Structure 1
Amino acid sequence: MKGLFFIRFYLSLIIITLIVSCKKFLDVGSPVTETSSKEIFANDNSATAAMLGVYGEFMKTANLSMGASIFLGQSADEFRSYAVAPYSNYYTNNLNAIDNNDFWTAYYGSIYRCNAVLEGVSKSSTISSKVSEQLRGEALFTRAFLHFYLVNIFGDIPYVATTNYKENNLAPRESVESVYNKIIADLQEAKVLLNDIFPDAANKPSTERVRPNRTAAEAMLARVYLYKGEWERSEEFASAVLSKSQDYGLSNDLNDVFKKNSREAIWQMMPSDAVNTNGFEGYTYILLAPPGALGRFTIALNDYLLNAFEIGDKRRNHWVGTYLSFHYPFKYKVGALSQPTSEYSMVIRLAEVVLIRAEARAMQAKLNASISDLDKIRNRAGLALIADIDPMVNKQKLLETIWHERQIELFSEWGHRWFDLKRTGRADSILAAIKGSNWKSTDELFPIPKIQIDYSPVYTNAQNPGYN
């Protein structure tokens, strides 16, 4: 099948494929020869393997694991592309519905897998209640996380909560507000079902931060409420995360932030590729030749980002690498394949939550509390504290400083800059000045892939503005 519901397979075949693809992650003796969903969800181990397989597929699919960072960073002002069309279409903001389908199908495919786990767990009477709650919480969290990206990339979208392809085929686009409400409902339920431990593949406590827990759900709730403009609720959930100082903290050494099981990590992805034993980021970002000279070296950091660093910012020295006259993200240090595993892909980390609370507090005119949060990030970066240099800063200036810190702290990570420019209403003013005739206001939303419009009757004449 095509488009949104491209993954039209029998449930059992999907789960078996995921289990096989995720053996490195699992290693729990999963029954990979059984073919019925009833058998797959017959016990704790095989049911857990099904959910872990969702993460394994996530890490195997570059559009899922790196697409948001690379493509959205080009659409914003983080990366310069040295590729040719259609691979440069994000950088030139010249996307089209035919060539650019890097998010829709991949993300909805993973959502389908989450729904398959939710349905399999709910129908099983042989999984323990503890594991059933854990798996349901993880699947709800991951489904919400994926919809969050889709709604911020495409605007109005369908919120898919079933594997019934007939229903899904006719699912209409819902308003952004409606989608956010459903994301929140999933995250709120996930928060109740999950707990604060980091479970391993056998559902025992571990130090591996690769399965989302209650803290991950709270961090996502803080983010979603920030995007919705519900400042009190955003502060509430950010504070819930930041109160757990026994488990999480800002790494004093900037070179340690992106290592596996960093104290700053709230949720990471473990590599599931037999060849690339660390995350995709180092291999993708680190330049060993001029951009474009080799197939994978097609991007480098944009001067607009480089010029935004303040003098003396330690992040410029530790997180930016240089090759000849080109600069690249150096948050991840391992660029070669098959090196001993020392880095996982960071998905959610504590520094973002600190900045979320700083912004939510500033929006409520809690300026001193906001400055206190902001200065935690600036202090680690070796910068002068706002409390020292401008303690009487007004609300608007403080917000602009927070947004600047987000630009520097979170660059090249999961499209934060692209989303920030849009949600704060600055995309037009900033990107038009940088990109000239390549930029139009309608570029803030990506085109619905033509394959989806052709496949589903509810998408007739439903393309986003600005695309034929």
Structure 2
Amino acid sequence: MKKNILITIFSLTLFFGCDDYLDETPDNRQTITSLDDVSELLVSAYNEGSQFFLEWRTDNVTAIFDNTQVDWMTENYQYRLVQSSTQQDTPSYLWETSYNAIAHANQALESLDQIEGGDADFRNALRGEALICRAYNHFILANVFSQHYNDANKGTLGIPYITAPETSLKVEYERGTLEETYQLIEKDLLDALPLISDAYYTGLGKYHFTKSAANAFASRFYLFTQDYDKCIEYSNKIIGTGTIGTTYVRDMAAVFTGTSSAQIADQFNDITQAYNLFVSRKESTGDRYYFGYRTNTNIINQILRINIQGDSDERDYFYNYGTQARSQPKYNELFRYTTATTGFPYIVVTEFRSEEVIFNRMESYVMQNRLQEALDDYNVLATLRYANGGQLTLQNVVDYFGGSDQDAMLEFVLSERRKEFLNESLRWFDIKRHSMEVTHIDVNGDTYVLGAEDLRKAIQLPQRATVNGIEANPR
């Protein structure tokens, strides 16, 4: 599996343009002489590439016939190689911006080894932040471009795990197995956790990996690797042991109240709230309702309005458009100007929120057959999700979903995860993790089926990667 790899827009395009980068060996790094320089460098270890395109691969969207049809959205919807664009909201863009972020983390780690003196605690905190950024960016790449991690897939292709800054245009890397990739992610994660400190973040700290954000990442990591004891352990570091309280559960009725979608989106992603653990900026136009494939009334009925409660769901808050598209106000599109008249649209995204941690623990409880504990957590969350409080018994769940107690509870938790994280891209990972089949019908009436164990669940690598020697995913 050893191949030549050219990762474009890599660490050292930081300080000169892409054309210059392709013309010379990238050893002309910015001089980093202090811990403050490293701290500034780590701002770019957070990926601005959006995962929005994952939503268009899920069962949360359908054809909106009078929308503007965009090729790169259609390619995702039809599970084809996305080759019409390499810009925002595409797999290519996520690939390149992820490795660019990783390169910044690696440069920070190398610089920390070279800089003498300075506050030791600050140095450790920077090292922890660099390691967690490197781990998280590789984790996202693995979950997008590889199969889901499980015993059957451990030997399949992982992704190149980069642990040092580049000093030449072409370097040999092994793509390795998925198991090897996850071992490296876990090592960086565990090395980072005891080092991370919130003491050096001010104001916009939640745009960084705080202790809580790092533990939320660990909660997701161990859920995805089916290590349920550890998932519960790291979830408890945020939400506490025993049944949850409401500190880490947003009041959805209060959040989804306001005079404009922008106001509501800002409330949803408010960094002052305890339940928003890690917020980032993503260059994206993915939430524009008039583009391509979207949620519509039929899907909303299926997900939210026909429910076990027989009650009004406070998450059922959508803006209706003439295109028949329906959109929850979770994102507020802004604009970053690079000249007086041009620039990039972007959105603010909550990448980790405590409700995900709660659902991670609930699912882990179910997988351990601790069904009442899972239901106890749900019944607290439900008080702020359903108009009448939404209290359920295990028998209610079994009667509604059928099958064994454990099977019914798992289906229940996954259905509630779908409601909670609609239009946040997490549904794609659940589809992969639980071998779900998805059927899409496009605007021409053609049908595209993504099978339960479909190889296309590992999204194909960008062409710019494969033409430079990285092994493509099998089809």
Which TM class, normalised by the smaller chain length?
0.7 to 0.9
Instruction: Indicate how the Cα distance of structure 1 residues 374 and 328 shifts in structure 2: closer, same or farther if over 3 A, else same.
Output: same
Match among 436, 461, 464 for residue 448 of structure 1: 461
* Map of 2:401 onto structure 1: none
Most deviating of 142-151 and 204-213: 204-213
Q: Distance in 2 between matches of 1:243 and 1:301?
A: 35
In the alignment, is residue 93 of structure 1 matched against residue 79 of structure 2?
yes
Instruction: Indicate how the Cα distance of structure 1 residues 321 and 178 shifts in structure 2: closer, same or farther if over 3 A, else same.
Output: same
* Map of 1:314 onto structure 2: 313
Residues 188 and 217, structure 1, Cα contact 8 Å, conserved in 2: no
Q: Distance in 1 between matches of 2:103 and 2:164?
A: 7
Residues 77 and 440, structure 2, Cα contact 8 Å, conserved in 1: no
Instruction: Indicate how the Cα distance of structure 1 residues 348 and 248 shifts in structure 2: closer, same or farther if over 3 A, else same.
Output: farther
Once the two structures are superposed, what CA deviation does each residue of 1:120-178 show, in whole Å capped at 9, x if it has no partner? 12211134222211211111111111111111111121111111355973111122222
Match among 390, 412, 424 for residue 396 of structure 2: 390
Once the two structures are superposed, what CA deviation does each residue of 1:62-112 show, in whole Å capped at 9, x if it has no partner? xx1x2x1x2000011223464242441001212256856233222112211
Match among 40, 43, 48 for residue 34 of structure 2: 43
* Map of 1:234 onto structure 2: 231
Instruction: Indicate how the Cα distance of structure 1 residues 135 and 387 shifts in structure 2: closer, same or farther if over 3 A, else same.
Output: same
SS of the residue corresponding to residue 107 of structure 2 reads helix
Q: Distance in 2 between matches of 1:219 and 1:369?
A: 20
Q: Distance in 1 between matches of 2:369 and 2:246?
A: 30
Residues 331 and 348, structure 2, Cα contact 8 Å, conserved in 1: no
- CA-based RMSD of the aligned residues comes to 3.2
The structural deviation recorded for 1:206 is 4.4
The structural deviation recorded for 1:389 is 6.2
TM-score, scaled to structure 1: 0.76
Match among 263, 267, 272 for residue 261 of structure 1: 272
The structural deviation recorded for 1:258 is 2.1
Structure of greater relative contact order (alpha carbons < 8 Å, 6+ residues apart): 2
TM-score, scaled to structure 2: 0.75
Residues 235 and 357, structure 1, Cα contact 8 Å, conserved in 2: yes
The structural deviation recorded for 1:336 is 6.4
Once the two structures are superposed, what CA deviation does each residue of 1:409-443 show, in whole Å capped at 9, x if it has no partner? 01111x210110111111x3x43799833535222
Match among 404, 407, 414 for residue 403 of structure 1: 414
Any unmatched runs of 5+ in structure 2? 18-27, 86-90, 147-157, 257-266, 337-346, 399-403
SS of the residue corresponding to residue 81 of structure 2 reads coil
Instruction: Indicate how the Cα distance of structure 1 residues 313 and 149 shifts in structure 2: closer, same or farther if over 3 A, else same.
Output: farther
Q: Distance in 2 between matches of 1:15 and 1:119?
A: 17
SS of the residue corresponding to residue 304 of structure 1 reads helix
Most deviating of 442-451 and 237-246: 237-246
State the one-letter code of the partner of 2:14: I
Once the two structures are superposed, what CA deviation does each residue of 1:300-337 show, in whole Å capped at 9, x if it has no partner? 3154355211354434433x221235234324364566
State the one-letter code of the partner of 1:420: D
State the one-letter code of the partner of 1:417: R
SS of the residue corresponding to residue 278 of structure 2 reads strand
Q: Distance in 1 between matches of 2:397 and 2:74?
A: 44
Instruction: Indicate how the Cα distance of structure 1 residues 433 and 389 shifts in structure 2: closer, same or farther if over 3 A, else same.
Output: farther
Instruction: Indicate how the Cα distance of structure 1 residues 406 and 154 shifts in structure 2: closer, same or farther if over 3 A, else same.
Output: same
* Map of 1:14 onto structure 2: 14
* Map of 1:465 onto structure 2: 474
Instruction: Indicate how the Cα distance of structure 1 residues 15 and 51 shifts in structure 2: closer, same or farther if over 3 A, else same.
Output: farther
* Map of 1:79 onto structure 2: 61
